[in-house]
Amino acid sequence: MRVRDSALLECGVLTELLAEAGAVGFAEEEGVLIAYIPADVYSPEAVESVVGNFDGVAVERCECLPPKNWNELWESNFTPLMLEVGGRTLRIRASFHAPTVGGEELVIDPRMAFGTGHHATTRLMLEWLLGLPDPIESCLDIGCGSGILAILAAKRGARRVVALDYDIWAVENARENAALNGVEGVEVLHADLHALPQEQFQLMLANLTKNLLLDNLERLVATVRPGGLIAMSGFYEADALALEKAASSLGLRKERECTAEGWEMMVFLRTA
């Protein structure tokens, strides 16, 4: 789609609304926004309803892409990632990369699921987990994707880790990655935000969109014990204030925030 207002692309509102309409990926080329929507969820009416909110935005064309070997594509683009926080290092690699000599590592084969650490939202969460001074007792990872955050929590000493995702491909991939890293104790559930575990955790990890966080924050808070932490990301820096206000109204106190590439990550303490 042609977007005449460059500020509209930069603020992220258009991509966020298209994501709610089913888009799972985006690319920008000189004022043209390319949105990728799976064929089984694509709705011309939903896309047009988004575009109709903005002047100077028009859908130029819609085409169905031929099947691709997505595994081959991500393998060709997935380079190992090195993180360093407070003297601790973590190398994230795929199973086809050479093993790390010394230091910590995560082995992640993302396949059809999101999460290699290269995207700013995942990287911010990983860096925070890596820098935690004390072991984690229990952790709930919401929208786990490849399982990368849950696996690091387990490697940081969490005795109980539950990860969930509504996408069955992500669930299977997270289980595979947990086994690759020797943390088979990570429990991966096929569930959505309306079927959260009936228990409370010391830490919740929620790398979700702004609207998913706002719409479900009360039920998310209920799964964190008093004195526990909620780390959330997946939203733009411009959306942080709305989330902070919602969190404060539910008795959460902001402990930390950081940004990268326009994306935000915040950590809240449940005070009661």
Backbone angles phi, psi at 244, to 5 degrees: -65, -40
8 A C-beta contact, residue 256 and residue 230: no
Q: Which residues pair with 235 in a beta bridge?
A: 264
CA distance 48 to 132: 45
Which tokens go with 26? 């985006």
3-class secondary-structure state, position 220: helix
Q: Which residues pair with 165 in a beta bridge?
A: 190
> Which residues are annotated as part of the binding site for S-adenosyl-L-methionine?
122, 143, 165, 207
8 A C-beta contact, residue 130 and residue 152: yes
> Which residues are annotated as part of the binding site?
122, 143, 165, 207
Measuring CA to CA, how many Å separate 168 from each of 141, 172, 190, 239?
Answer: 15, 6, 6, 29
CA distance 123 to 259: 10
- Residues in contact with 232: Cβ distance below 8 Å, sequence separation at least 6, in sequence order: 206, 207, 208, 213, 243, 265, 266, 267, 268
Which tokens go with 60? 């130029």
